[in-house]
Chain A
Amino acid sequence: MLAGTLLLIGTLFIRNVMQQDVVRAEKIEWFSGYMQEVATQNRTDRQMLQETPLEELEQKLDVGVALQNQLNGLILSIENGAWEDELQQEIDVYLTAIDYKEVKGNYSFSNGDMDETIRLNEQLLLLGLPKEDIGRSVQPPLFIKQIVSLVLNPFGLTVLLVLLGTVITREFEDRNMQMVYTFPIPKWKYVFVKFTGLLLTGLIWLSVLFSASYLLPALTVESKELIFDYPLSLANGSFLDAGTYINEACIYSVGVLLFAIGVLTLVGFMARQTIISSVVILAVFAGGWMSIRNGMDLLWNPFTYVNVNEAIINHADYFPTGLIVLFGVAAVLLAIAMWGSRKRGVS
């Protein structure tokens, strides 16, 4: 499991490193598309003006030409790798694009998106940080965010639980539990010991996950100063700095792990067979995923937090109350598992 995790992190990091030039090329392609859109309109407007001079059209052409020039400048900045110019020029482009839309120009990017980008760029300029592609960054906190999104979700957790689950069910299947239950400790205590053991294993896995995602980029790529202050957009329109994001991600991960191990312990000790417990775990997490997809991403629903990244980005106001939900549900699940095993035999 650890080897698989490290392999995933390593592969993803190499992919991100290799994608850095692609990111730049895509940016150029992206803005070139807009430049072409504006240039075409300018050409048409010029022709129309030659036929019938109109003040409105003239005004549009003026703004359009300015926008085209700014887009050209922006593309040059991206090509030259002058990130500060790039950020400033992007702001200028969007301010002009908003004006352009007001004079009936066509610019296929929503005002809301442009406003958000302007605010992000201003923030980055203040911090002295270049803009990163969140899904392909090699900077430590953003790479951690990518890993969190990729691994700490219903799918990743189901895989983890199916692998860990055999620790409980195998003992029943191989009849080792018959021996264990003859030890002079109460059965409920054994359930608790198993829960603790699995939790510790999970915590070790989590610490490897976070440390490797941090150390790999930190040791191999030059980290930017203040990168932990990098602003991340939240669903409510505000920003959250990357450092706080990682703190919340770590804390939520522990909570989610606690909840997941609680589910696993209960299911494992109830089902006692690998096949059945795996199917039940799959059904539980598929159901949880479906509930979230159908708008049940409520504060009290522990599955809201199973996708750690989405919980932080979409429900900033749930932190830290969400942790109480996770801890509470985990405690209830564990209590049921311990209570249920009190008088149950092994055969």
Chain B
Amino acid sequence: MRQFLFENKKMMKKKSVWAAVFITLLSLLVLSYFHFSAADRIRNGNIVKQENVLAQYKIWIEDAETELQIAEKNSDAETGDAMAAVIEKYTQSIVNQEKWISDYTQREWKTILEEDIADFELYSSEDGSMAIEGQRVKSFTLRAALEEKRWFLKNGIDPVVQNTSYNLFVPTIYEDFTGRALDYWKQVTARYGDTGLTYFYGMMPNFLMQIFILIGCFLFGNSISGESGKKKKGLQLHFVQPVSKTALFLSKYVSGLTATLIFVGLLVSAIIMSGEFGNGIGSLEYPVLVYEGAEPNPYGSEFNALIPENDQFHFIPLGEYLKDVLMMGSGLLFFTYSLYFLLALGIRNQSITILVTGGILFGGMTILPVSAYNPFTYVDIHRALNGEIATIAFNPAIGFQHGMLALFVVGTAVLLAAFIGFHVKSRNVAA
């Protein structure tokens, strides 16, 4: 315990670490501010687009009025009636459009969502469809988008900002657009969280938490390597005190692990709190799409295929997702930190250690076969938790429970390896 307290004291007194934590936090907040500004710009852009449509209606009404006057002059009743109808139609459109703009600006989503739901009910019905550049949007995506809107409506949740203000799609793994359709799809389904929680959720697929964990390891995982250099030999001081090597190892390991955990928690909190730059922290009821996966083909895995018409999904509240992310994030942190700690025993340069650790995580995730008991499968926390990996791999065992187990078991094995490595190193610490 005394050794552990001393390790914590050392950590607390390193000004460079504090400065790095401060810089990370500040950068994160600045980047978040940029993000929310961008989201706001896109939202305003959507309003301007609709205002342009409104202006267009007005021009058309003016044109129709001119033609109506000419028709009245020429006593052309037929044209006059037609123009009157046009004017009436566009006048109504203006009323609708103004209402829409007002609703969108005020974030009064009820009417907008009801209209959107009606559209999507049609698209996802047997007679309906939706295509982009001639390529059809898959039934799965249409159904998911519809359900998401129903969730929004039912729970009074605001949708996030997208580059379009109507027919808001949710991107799914079932889409296989190519060429221009793909570009367009990417553009219209790009989502910009305008609350702290939706921003965090939107950044998760970009490996946000994994980057936080790596930075944490980089800052706090060097308690051994940082004390066994040529000009810094603090480790040797500990070795001539009446402290067992096991206690020394555990003190160093646990103090760094705790600090990393607090650091990652701090950054995640900062991301969520940064929602105050935007539209507040947001709701924990925001819907998170979870894939239920496809049934493995009974005739063999080579016949496995995603079936957009049949495959199922459901939504869970963001609060539940966040809880799972934090738990699996802790598991991944334990695994990553242990790996970093092990590597740091052999690599004195912490920049190289962090790159090797990141390389192993990324390499393991991309090269190793996806499996329920492979910890690298869970490096992509977001896709592991929302069932994306399980669906693509046709392996329903890939999920939270197995993920936690794999990360904990392999993390413990790596920790043991680090412990053995430390003992080996300690035999010749003065080398």
Contacts and interface: CB of A to CB of B under 8 A. Distances in A.
Do A and B have CB atoms closer than 8 angstroms in the complex? yes
A91 B413 CA distance: 57
The residue in B20, B31, B181, B351 that gathers the most chain A C-beta atoms within 10 A of its C-beta is B351
B72 interface: no
Contacts of B354: 162, 278
User: What band does the interface of chain A fall in when counting residues whose beta carbon is under 8 Å from B?
Assistant: 20 to 34
B24 interface: yes
B157 to A, nearest CB: 25
Contacts of B131: 108
Contacts of A108: 131, 134-136
Given A175-B231, A273-B16, A159 B355 contact: yes
B355 A110 contact: no
B320 interface: no
Contacts of B34: 287, 290-291, 294
Contacts of A279: 20, 23-24, 27, 215, 219
Contact of B20 (A166, A275, A287, A294): A275
A6 interface: no
Given A110-B180, A112-B180, A283-B23, A162 B351 contact: yes
Interface in B298-319: none
A106 B27 contact: no
Interface string B351-365: 110110000000000
A107 interface: yes
Interface string A87-109: 00000000000000100001111
B349 A275 contact: no
B179 interface: yes
B181 A110 contact: yes
Given A108-B135, A166-B349, A287 B30 contact: yes
A162 B24 CA distance: 15
Contact of B17 (A275, A282, A291): A275
Contacts of B180: 110, 112-113
A297 B134 CA distance: 30
Nearest to A114: B179
A262 interface: no
B215 A106 contact: no
Contact of A109 (B20, B135, B218, B352): B135
A164 B278 CA distance: 37
Given A113-B179, A163-B351, A286-B31, A275 B134 contact: no
Nearest to A176: B231
Interface in A158-174: 159, 162-163, 165-166, 174
Given A106-B134, A110-B133, A290 B35 contact: yes
B224 to A, nearest CB: 16
Interface in B237-281: none
Contact of A165 (B38, B136, B219, B351): B351
- Interface class of chain B by DSSP: helix
Contact of B16 (A101, A112, A276): A276
A274 interface: yes
Interface in B6-42: 16-17, 19-20, 23-24, 27, 30-31, 34-35, 38
B86 to A, nearest CB: 29
Contacts of B35: 290, 294
A163 B20 contact: no
B178 interface: yes
B31 A278 contact: no
Contacts of B218: 275, 278
A346 to B, nearest CB: 15
A108 B179 CA distance: 11
Interface in A281-295: 282-283, 286-287, 290-291, 294-295
Contacts of B134: 101, 106-111
B31 A287 contact: yes
Interface in A263-308: 273-276, 278-280, 282-283, 286-287, 290-291, 294-295
A284 to B, nearest CB: 8
A261 B27 CA distance: 21
A287 B179 contact: no
Nearest to A271: B19
A168 to B, nearest CB: 12
The residue in A113, A275, A294 that gathers the most chain B C-beta atoms within 10 A of its C-beta is A275
Contacts of A159: 355
B18 to A, nearest CB: 10
Contacts of B219: 275, 279
Contacts of A278: 218, 351, 354
A202 to B, nearest CB: 16
Nearest to A282: B215
A195 B351 CA distance: 20
A21 to B, nearest CB: 17
Interface string B95-138: 00000000000000000000000000000000000010111100
Interface in B207-221: 215, 218-219
B91 interface: no
B351 A286 contact: no
Interface of A: 101, 106-113, 116, 159, 162-163, 165-166, 174-175, 273-276, 278-280, 282-283, 286-287, 290-291, 294-295
27 contacts: A108-B131, A110-B133, A110-B135, A110-B179, A111-B134, A113-B133, A113-B180, A162-B355, A163-B351, A273-B16, A273-B20, A274-B350, A275-B20, A276-B23, A278-B218, A278-B354, A279-B27, A279-B219, A282-B215, A283-B24, A286-B31, A287-B27, A287-B30, A290-B31, A290-B34, A294-B34, A295-B38
